[in-house]
Chain A
């Protein structure tokens, strides 16, 4: 079955839509254009699903991993686009301000599509860098002191990181110069990897991991990522914590899949385990002192990215991918609910809240279910993926890492629960100005959030065998 949705058509369509979004000056035109972009995304996903492993446009190819991540992107992109319009409405932003935001959003999502689809390491690099640039516009959206600071730091550190990653690519091509892998496509690299000098491979892996760590949001360059999520509008933070993190994962995982065909695989695994554990450690340390709800959620992303790396390092690839996907949905729901929290309390601070259960019952429900998902408590699917990752780790030679990781996870669970519960139940000061209650329309706006959380349960426990099988294929290293 061949559809007309060639990636070229997609990118051309996205460019046209982005251009039209900038000039469209009515709300209905904006919504119509956004909707048509989502249709475009969905049809691309369907097209790639029907033409798996076919090389298109020379350097683009979809494998099951691509299609999985594209599906997540389509769903979360649609939710974020919808929330973006609501956000502008509540803040009373001008239509030109919204237009720029929407155009940047379309650009950002399209660049991530490019990252997922690329089969050339240089192209992955270029698309990731382009995603930074479009993300910068989105992070800058509120144009206040915080957003200026965060955008500067984000773009600057991303640029340094991406330069380091490029050095990693060049070191890889030094290693590849002894083989036929001159064109640096993943297939050629995979075929030639076993002939390459292990030392160069190791150096290049360290550089690539360090460079892409900004995107994945793990140690060493996670700090600016946290700041960006803090300063960006909440629906953008949701995207940074989900689809952008997935793009970082896609890049790192494909590189890992190339290198793991060589003798350095045990070394790679230990690097990933170390990186993941340090990320969880950093998350635990920061979460213990955090007072800002948005940063709490951002640090929780750091923790979950760490878990994903640990899963990859211990060989539980299926668990890694499942966890990544589930985290994307759960964290997006939480960030969107944070948007409501901010509207009610006019503050990012955790101690500004309290008695959320009566102020916004529907929203409180999202916080509760979302907290369960982030803490991997059944019946949430994250329970399964985290469990699978840890049991696989226990079966490896590095089982004793679990002795460090599990206490850290417990600390994070305790700290997160304490903070969210204080928002939900702690009595509020009656003298405070934060006395507003959620309206009916706000309760209705929680529906997408519940839907996302429902996916987390469904995918973990009720997914049909075909879906599970597809995820398995997506997580296998050499398709």
Chain B
């Protein structure tokens, strides 16, 4: 059961490698949020109501619905449709994502640690590097933010792979931080668009020596 969700999650990463329209990327992020809930639900050994509701809020509500809705609003406000300037072609980017996934798989299988879930580990490491790859190769700051969110999803999976549960106080703080930082980033994307009349990273170069 959990393997299906992991495979679906890895497929979304491949899709991200190909996607060109930003609204598609946002939709994939929403799908990832829901997949994360499914994987977390399956992964939990003992489900208590508090923990479950916590994960429900974090995945479906925040990652699945709230963040995509916010991103969509930002896209509309700034009139951005697609990533127009590429440093790599779609084919190359798909190739890189595939290589990342394969390497993560090899890495995960070379680790001998009894408490580690290999499947989750593969998916999480892939997501972290795909997120970084998106940040490095795309030009629009909104895409950078999407890359960061993919990376963040990878970290969420990693915490499942490790299976260590943080105390509730810490978890709450982490969730609050994540939510606020995404809100803040979205606000800043708007501000950059307003102030600089551009959404390209390369135009943000006024601060220098």
B129 CB, min distance to chain A CBs, angstroms: 11
Chain B hits for A146, CB < 8 A: 206-207
In the bound complex, how far is the Cα of B207 from the Cα of A166, in angstroms?
Answer: 29
A123-B173, A146-B206 given. 8 additional CB < 8 A pairs? A122-B170, A122-B173, A133-B177, A152-B191, A160-B148, A170-B164, A183-B167, A295-B209
When C-beta atoms are compared, the residue in chain B nearest to A288 turns out to be: B209
Among residues 117 to 148 in chain A, which have CB atoms less than 8 Å away from a CB atom of chain B?
120, 122-123, 125-127, 129-130, 132-133, 136, 144-146, 148
Query: Would you list 6 pairs from A and B whose C-beta atoms are within 8 A, ordered by A residue?
Result: A130-B173, A149-B192, A152-B191, A170-B158, A184-B164, A184-B166
Asked if B158 and A167 sit within 8 Å, CB to CB, the answer is yes
Instruction: Given A126-B177, A163-B151, A177-B115, verify A145-B206 contact (CB < 8 Å).
Output: yes
A33 CB, min distance to chain B CBs, angstroms: 23
When C-beta atoms are compared, the residue in chain A nearest to B194 turns out to be: A148
Asked if B116 and A291 sit within 8 Å, CB to CB, the answer is no
Complex interface: stretch among B6-14, B24-32, B90-98, B180-188: B180-188
* Most chain B Cβ neighbours within 10 Å, of A173, A197, A292: A173
Selected from A58, A122, A149, A174, the residue in CB contact (under 8 A) with B174 is A122
A232 CB, min distance to chain B CBs, angstroms: 11
In the bound complex, how far is the Cα of B208 from the Cα of A292, in angstroms?
Answer: 9
In the bound complex, how far is the Cα of B209 from the Cα of A227, in angstroms?
Answer: 10
Chain A hits for B164, CB < 8 A: 170, 173, 176-177, 182, 184
In the bound complex, how far is the Cα of B141 from the Cα of A173, in angstroms?
Answer: 33
B144 at interface by CB-CB < 8 Å: yes
B150 CB, min distance to chain A CBs, angstroms: 11
In the bound complex, how far is the Cα of B209 from the Cα of A286, in angstroms?
Answer: 8
Chain A hits for B145, CB < 8 A: 156
B contact residues, total (Cβ < 8 Å): 42
* Most chain A Cβ neighbours within 10 Å, of B115, B163, B173: B173
Instruction: Given A133-B177, A160-B148, A170-B164, verify A149-B207 contact (CB < 8 Å).
Output: yes
B128 at interface by CB-CB < 8 Å: yes
A290 at interface by CB-CB < 8 Å: yes
Selected from B132, B158, B181, the residue in CB contact (under 8 A) with A159 is B181
Asked if B188 and A59 sit within 8 Å, CB to CB, the answer is no
Asked if A156 and B144 sit within 8 Å, CB to CB, the answer is yes
Asked if A123 and B116 sit within 8 Å, CB to CB, the answer is no
A151 at interface by CB-CB < 8 Å: yes
Asked if A132 and B181 sit within 8 Å, CB to CB, the answer is yes
- Say whether chain B's binding surface is mostly helix, strand, loop, or mixed: helix
Chain B hits for A218, CB < 8 A: none
* Most chain B Cβ neighbours within 10 Å, of A150, A153, A159, A178: A159
Chain B hits for A173, CB < 8 A: 162, 164
B155 at interface by CB-CB < 8 Å: yes
When C-beta atoms are compared, the residue in chain B nearest to A137 turns out to be: B184
In the bound complex, how far is the Cα of B141 from the Cα of A178, in angstroms?
Answer: 41
B83 at interface by CB-CB < 8 Å: no
Selected from B113, B141, B152, B174, the residue in CB contact (under 8 A) with A152 is B141
The residues of A with any CB-CB pair to B shorter than 8 Å are 58-59, 120, 122-123, 125-127, 129-130, 132-133, 136, 144-146, 148-153, 155-156, 159-160, 163, 166-167, 170, 173-174, 176-178, 182-184, 197, 200, 227, 230-231, 286, 289-292, 295
Asked if A149 and B206 sit within 8 Å, CB to CB, the answer is yes
B4 at interface by CB-CB < 8 Å: no
Top 3 closest A-B pairs, CB basis?
A126-B173, A173-B164, A122-B170
Selected from A59, A122, A148, A177, the residue in CB contact (under 8 A) with B191 is A148
Chain A hits for B115, CB < 8 A: 174, 177-178
The residues of B with any CB-CB pair to A shorter than 8 Å are 113-116, 128, 132, 135, 141, 144-145, 148, 151-152, 155, 158-159, 161-164, 166-167, 169-170, 173-174, 176-177, 180-181, 184-185, 188-189, 191-192, 195-196, 204, 206-207, 209
Asked if B192 and A155 sit within 8 Å, CB to CB, the answer is no
A218 CB, min distance to chain B CBs, angstroms: 18
When C-beta atoms are compared, the residue in chain A nearest to B151 turns out to be: A163
B124 CB, min distance to chain A CBs, angstroms: 9
Instruction: Given A149-B206, A174-B113, verify A167-B181 contact (CB < 8 Å).
Output: no
A351 CB, min distance to chain B CBs, angstroms: 13
Instruction: Given A59-B167, A148-B191, verify A129-B181 contact (CB < 8 Å).
Output: yes
Chain A hits for B189, CB < 8 A: 152
Chain A hits for B116, CB < 8 A: 174
In the bound complex, how far is the Cα of B148 from the Cα of A227, in angstroms?
Answer: 20
B44 CB, min distance to chain A CBs, angstroms: 16
In the bound complex, how far is the Cα of B145 from the Cα of A144, in angstroms?
Answer: 22
Asked if A133 and B181 sit within 8 Å, CB to CB, the answer is yes
Asked if A126 and B158 sit within 8 Å, CB to CB, the answer is no
Asked if A150 and B170 sit within 8 Å, CB to CB, the answer is no
Chain B hits for A170, CB < 8 A: 155, 158-159, 161-162, 164
Asked if B207 and A120 sit within 8 Å, CB to CB, the answer is no
A311 CB, min distance to chain B CBs, angstroms: 28
B195 CB, min distance to chain A CBs, angstroms: 5
In the bound complex, how far is the Cα of B148 from the Cα of A176, in angstroms?
Answer: 27
Selected from B152, B167, B209, the residue in CB contact (under 8 A) with A163 is B152
Asked if A166 and B155 sit within 8 Å, CB to CB, the answer is yes
A442 CB, min distance to chain B CBs, angstroms: 27
Chain A hits for B181, CB < 8 A: 129, 132-133, 155, 159
Chain B hits for A149, CB < 8 A: 192, 196, 204, 206-207
Asked if B188 and A151 sit within 8 Å, CB to CB, the answer is yes
When C-beta atoms are compared, the residue in chain A nearest to B185 turns out to be: A155
Asked if B188 and A155 sit within 8 Å, CB to CB, the answer is yes
Asked if B207 and A290 sit within 8 Å, CB to CB, the answer is no
Chain B hits for A166, CB < 8 A: 155, 174
B21 CB, min distance to chain A CBs, angstroms: 22
Asked if A148 and B192 sit within 8 Å, CB to CB, the answer is yes
